[in-house]
């Protein structure tokens, strides 16, 4: 019997969306593109204010994005 998961992601995650404090529909995104980490706040914001729980979530997302970018950079060096 094959124990491989039936449900799995097709590609490594490259975009994470984080909800902004106080605005239900507003998110900022963290993206990875060709080994670079990009952070995009909503258009009208010049800064992002993070409360305690949001700091932990942001840190986890940023760590994951950095790991994905490093994988991209290593793959580029090896090819």
Q: pTM for the whole thing?
A: 0.71
Q: Are 69 and 38 in contact (CB under 8 A)?
A: no
Torsion sign over Cα 40, 77, 11, 7: negative
Q: Which residues pair with 31 in a beta bridge?
A: 15, 38
For residue 69, name the pLDDT band (cuts at 50, 70, 90): very high
Tokens representing 36? 């670079």
Q: What is the pLDDT of residues 28-41, one digit of tens each?
A: 899 999 899 998 88
């Amino acid at each position: 019997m094959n124990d491989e998961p039936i449900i799995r992601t097709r590609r490594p995650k490259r975009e994470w969306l984080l909800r902004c404090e106080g605005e239900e529909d507003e998110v900022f995104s963290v993206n990875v593109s060709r080994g670079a980490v990009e952070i995009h706040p909503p258009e009208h914001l010049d800064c992002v204010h993070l409360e305690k729980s949001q700091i932990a979530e942001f840190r986890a997302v940023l760590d994951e994005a950095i790991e994905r970018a490093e994988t991209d950079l290593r793959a580029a060096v090896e090819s």
